[in-house]
């Protein structure tokens, strides 16, 4: 018996973001964040979601898509448009990421950066993704790690606590050279 397409919404710590969990994989092991409208060639799903008035950001990974709204609309006014856009995307049978999508890569010969990336991937990213967000490596220089919090984590009221007490504390356990982690 095929139950077909299913999805449900989950609250995130960010009141402006809702995580939609789908019965299908979206990003094939990749993560993608968009904070501005993109053409369907980059992401058919993101293009449909940004067509909903009030949508300010889209983050997708695995079988989930986190939608962030602007401050002014209420979720009660946006939810049906988001649901309709996701259902239309699913019915079209499209890939979530189009042929023009370019995945950001972070690589380095620096052993400290390699360890940071490993810890982010192994320990931190899975926990952050559970809340509908992601952490993106931006750079490391002289003991300072720069990251970008995206999805539900961007603008979340508890992101500063997460950054200091969670991410920075965890990284300092294994990387004594690390002085601080800042969000850019």
Residue 36, pLDDT score: 93
Take residue 61 and report the two structure tokens written for it: 């990974």
Q: Where in the chain is the domain with CATH 3.30.300.130?
A: 111-183
Q: Among candidates 127, 121, 96, which has minimal Cα distance to 106?
A: 121
Q: What confidence score (pLDDT) does residue 139 get?
A: 86
Q: What pLDDT is attached to residue 131?
A: 83
- Does the pTM of the predicted model rise above 0.85? no
Q: Which option is the CATH number for 7-92: 1.10.3720.10, 3.40.50.300, 3.40.50.620, 3.30.1370.70?
A: 3.30.1370.70
Could you tell me which CATH class the domain 111-183 is placed in? alpha beta
Dmax over Cα atoms in the chain, in whole Å? 57
CA angle 62, 22, 89 (to 5 degrees): 95
pLDDT of residue 32: 87
Along the chain (184 residues), what's the average pLDDT of each consecutive run of 10 residues? 76 91 83 91 96 95 92 94 95 91 72 89 86 85 88 80 85 92 86
Query: What pLDDT was estimated at residue 1?
Result: 39
């Amino acid at each position: 018996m095929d139950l077909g397409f299913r999805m449900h919404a989950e609250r995130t710590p960010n009141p402006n973001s809702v995580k939609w969990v789908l019965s299908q994989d979206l990003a094939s092991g990749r993560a993608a964040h968009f904070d501005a409208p993109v053409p369907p060639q980059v992401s058919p799903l993101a293009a449909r979601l940004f067509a909903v008035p009030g949508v300010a950001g889209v983050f997708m990974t695995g079988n989930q898509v986190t939608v962030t709204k602007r401050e002014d609309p209420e979720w009660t006014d946006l939810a049906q448009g988001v649901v309709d856009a996701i259902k239309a995307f699913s019915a079209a049978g499209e890939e979530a990421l189009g042929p023009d999508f370019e995945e950001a890569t972070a690589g380095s010969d620096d052993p400290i950066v390699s360890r940071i990336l490993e810890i982010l991937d192994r320990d931190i990213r899975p926990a952050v993704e559970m809340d509908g967000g992601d952490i993106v490596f931006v750079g490391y220089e002289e003991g300072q790690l720069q990251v970008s919090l995206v999805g539900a984590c961007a603008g979340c009221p508890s992101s500063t606590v997460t950054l200091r007490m969670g991410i920075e504390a965890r990284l300092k356990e294994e990387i004594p050279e690390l002085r601080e982690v800042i969000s850019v």
